[in-house]
Chains A and B, each alone.
Chain A
């Protein structure tokens, strides 16, 4: 808050190319003061000045605002090659200014604000996109090589890390997968029951739920849950390791971070996804059964028989294969963002965010592609 009782003023005197700036009143944080830029503009408006002297004979009080002001003025003067003298200011201010100016600004150190032209921003964004693709392809290539090394037993990773991942994205994911799977089955059955009831075809709820869950939705819902849960945690873990130089520490030991960090996560999640998906399918069917029995009054035996009839091994296999693809995509997206993470806390947030968005996008696109392929192949 500015205090109206505290006022400051200044006066400029000019003789030829020498100017004197007389400051008076209160130069404290809560007084009304003119900005250095305004005063400098006034000074240089009328005539060319080559020397500026600041005096403060009538200064009542001052705090850090005074040297701050003079420091800013000094920078402006330097740009215009004006020499600034401030040795008549209060002693404390002069000494502080002496210290602040003791180490002169190094050339080329100052960074101007990022307000560049639209064209240059488009250009740098395009370059960034190119670099991003390059890094992604390099990462995928690195993962393939690492998988190759693992196949011949020469990858540098610890079995214990793999088991930690298996536990984390296997057993620990069961509660949330159960909940989502069960509710999906329930909702699907409920919505279709309403429609099918109109035709007296309630029993076909079992077909709809069965095919819908087992062939697509079980895998997709598991994928989305795991993207938000595990993909995000992969990105955050690796990103934090990047920030703490832990990944550098691995590299200097000659341990490939892809072998040591990415491989257990990739393999662990890819192994767990089909199991989780099978479990989600089962729970989803259970959800459908609950609606069938309670809302539609279908006998459990009839509902189960109807489901068994439509669900052949092909349907189940398509769902499980889809989930394996999702596992690979989620683990890759999460680990890639973690490995590319910058060195700040904000970068970890961005990496996590991007990992989730990319995994979900990949899941949806992959589902579309798999569906098209299946319909072309007629399965």
Chain B
């Protein structure tokens, strides 16, 4: 599904994020290329999840602009806004599954709204998505009946419901056992490979960062701006910034 264009999937220009007067990060500018697995990293509390919330439109920027495919992402541009919303999926940090619906219903809701599949077809698609995240057979379970790690994986399955072009994942492998975490990484790589999906991933699992990341942004402390951009492996090997190096080497001397 490569569009064959050089236009980045997402462009962020001079984005400043703030809660009231409290500035989280200022003047962030970066591009997420099509088919990239873009990692947002930085110390805890520096605004990684907040950046993700801005990218998916849940928080309004204090200043700056975000473009998807060269179309400005803002509620004022209502036709474009809805189309963009439909082009991506979001995995929330806590899963954020709709607790009054079963896992299958959670995944099928987006299809109910936006597709004309038959019920049978929707059910099959939901089962397949659950199978992809290692939850085959859990269609009829409610979110409260499964564990936190399973909820996160079900959240990923829901985010994939409409086969989005872009997937935003807030800590997809945090709280998972090593094998499940590895499966998620493999799934992300596979989706990019086979469908050309672009990923924006907030994570601080180093193993995962190096295994899947093809580009990244490293956020500085609260109130400041990004310290570094680029392929995480290259950053680790060539960055001169001590904070980036320490982070990527887990504080151990290189």
Contact = CB atoms under 8 A, between A and B. Distances in A.
A254 B82 CA distance: 6
B85 A252 contact: yes
Interface stretch (B62-70, B89-97, B236-244): B89-97
A249 B99 contact: no
A73 B222 CA distance: 27
Nearest to A156: B113
B116 interface: no
A18 B97 CA distance: 61
A197 B85 CA distance: 71
Interface string B96-123: 1111100000000110110000000000
Contacts of A109: 222
Nearest to A158: B112
A262 to B, nearest CB: 15
B85 A248 contact: no
Given A108-B223, A156-B113, A251 B97 contact: no
B57 interface: yes
Given A253-B110, A254-B85, A248 B58 contact: yes
Contacts of B98: 241, 246, 249-250
A138 B86 CA distance: 25
Contacts of B58: 248, 251-252
A249 B96 contact: yes
Most buried by B among A106, A251, A252, A255: A252
A250 B56 CA distance: 12
Interface in B30-76: 53, 56-58
Contacts of B8: none
A244 B158 CA distance: 15
A237 B109 CA distance: 19
A245 B223 CA distance: 25
B223 A252 contact: no
B99 A244 contact: yes
Most buried by B among A158, A240, A248, A250: A248
Nearest to B53: A248
Interface string A230-244: 000000010011001
B86 A249 contact: no
B221 interface: yes
A251 B57 CA distance: 9
Nearest to A252: B90
A158 B106 CA distance: 13
Most buried by A among B86, B92, B221: B92
Contacts of A254: 82, 85-86, 113
A110 to B, nearest CB: 13
A245 B96 contact: yes
Contact of A245 (B92, B221, B222): B92
A244 B94 contact: yes
Contacts of A249: 90, 92, 96-98, 158
A245 B158 CA distance: 14
Contact of A246 (B97, B110, B112, B221): B97
Contacts of A241: 98-99
Contacts of A246: 96-99
B73 to A, nearest CB: 12
A240 B94 CA distance: 14
B96 A253 contact: no
Nearest to B100: A237
A245 B151 CA distance: 13
A248 B85 CA distance: 12
A253 B222 contact: no
A109 B109 CA distance: 41
Contacts of B109: 253, 255
Given A244-B94, A245-B92, A249-B98, 10 more contacts: A106-B222, A158-B112, A244-B96, A245-B94, A248-B58, A249-B97, A249-B158, A252-B90, A253-B85, A254-B85
Which 9 residue pairs are nearest across A and B when measured between Cβ atoms? Answer: A254-B85, A245-B96, A249-B96, A252-B90, A252-B56, A245-B92, A254-B82, A246-B98, A248-B58
